[in-house]
Structure 1
């Protein structure tokens, strides 16, 4: 199966890419990235990197290369603290929505599964104290769900990891960006609260398997959004951790 991946140089994306490379069921990986992806080196027969600068536009040449892809893991993202409010909205909501619209044209008569990496705290019903990321990720989730309803062959999942922990995933360590001190300090503490903890190995496997699926709504009391939103408690349940 041919899958698309974004965010491959980040913590979550690295975990996904390692799992995609390892899975025999994934025959081809098309990585959209602003810069080279070191983990893909040596795996050129399976993983191809397309240097892509404009995530709101997809030209015919690129779409031709992606035409037989059956799913995507959208792991691209940025902290709300690293960009302006307008930039955060564009990266977090407008980029994945533009991609979903473009990918829906690849083979409009057959299913395409779009897996959006959201995050715990995302909500469609924000309050006065809801953080910016929760509001914007909630808007992105809803926009993707609505687009999927308008285009029945576009199957959407919104996955909400909690505190993402890379420590038990040594295969990706050489490829990770330097993690800020606050993350290295907080992750060991948060890992004691299992409902908030999300290890990259298990997360990467679940995200890949969802992208490979037929995109049917998920079942479970911990699944939200008519089977389209996967909170961290459901991630852990599915992973068996």
Structure 2
């Protein structure tokens, strides 16, 4: 199976890539990235496509993706690292442009788009909802609408919470330096409130498996949006945590 991945040099994307590389059923991985991906070096089944404009997909790029059956969209940025305009462009516009482009690859056959959102995203923001919650909630809704309007284009919106890389040493040298507050907070959460934790190893497996699926609605009280929105509790349940 041929899968597409973005965000491979980031924390979540590295966890996904490690899982994809280990899975024999994943025969090809097309990584869209602005820069080389060291973790992919030496792996014959990986094609790193250096892609500078994530709002545009020309025929040359689409030709390399034409037989892909799913994608994990792990590209993202913290709302603290960019201004509001840039955050909206990266989080909403980039994601929607890719989803629309991928939906045209083989419209006669299923394609599954897995969007890495986050706990705190909401379709009903209030005055105290942070920017990321509003924007991620908006793109979740937009992707869901695209799914409803586009035959064979399936979507899962997945909401990890406290993404924990500590017990996944295989990716440590490939991920960005993690902020000190995360290094202090995660051990506390792991002790007092495990339901908020999202270990990268099982997360990568769940995201990959969803991208490989036919996009059927999931079941469970921790699943919403007609079976397409996967909460962090659902991630943990599906991973057997």
- TM-score w.r.t. length of structure 1: 0.99
Number of aligned residue pairs = 240
Superimposed CA distance per residue, residues 125-163 of structure 1 (whole angstroms, 9 cap, x where no aligned partner): 111111110000000100000001110211000000000
Q: State the superposition RMSD in angstroms.
A: 0.6
Superimposed CA distance per residue, residues 68-108 of structure 1 (whole angstroms, 9 cap, x where no aligned partner): 00000000000000001011011111111100100011101
Which residue of 1 is the match for residue 117 of structure 2? Answer: 118
Superimposed CA distance per residue, residues 23-65 of structure 1 (whole angstroms, 9 cap, x where no aligned partner): 111000000001000000110x111100001000000011001
Which residue of 2 is the match for residue 137 of structure 1? Answer: 136
Which residue of 2 is the match for residue 161 of structure 1? Answer: 160
Describe the SS at the equivalent of 1:227.
Answer: coil
* Structure 1: stretches of 5+ with no match in the other structure: none
Residue 174 (structure 1) shift? 1.3
Alignment of 1:29-48 (within 5 A): 29-43=29-43, 45-48=44-47
Once superposed, which parts of structure 1, at least 4 consecutive aligned residues long, lie more than 4 Å away? none
Task: Check the 8 A contact 2:107/2:151 in 1, yes or no.
Answer: no
Describe the SS at the equivalent of 1:65.
Answer: helix
Which residue of 2 is the match for residue 218 of structure 1? Answer: 218
Describe the SS at the equivalent of 2:123.
Answer: coil
Describe the SS at the equivalent of 2:5.
Answer: strand
Which residue of 1 is the match for residue 96 of structure 2? Answer: 97
Which residue of 2 is the match for residue 70 of structure 1? Answer: 69
Residue 194 (structure 1) shift? 1.2
Q: Does residue 149 of the first structure (1) align with residue 134 of the second (2)?
A: no
Q: Structure 2 CA distance, aligned partners of 1:123 and 1:100?
A: 20
Q: Structure 2 CA distance, aligned partners of 1:138 and 1:191?
A: 26
- TM-score w.r.t. length of structure 2: 0.99
Q: Structure 2 CA distance, aligned partners of 1:191 and 1:58?
A: 41
Describe the SS at the equivalent of 1:198.
Answer: strand
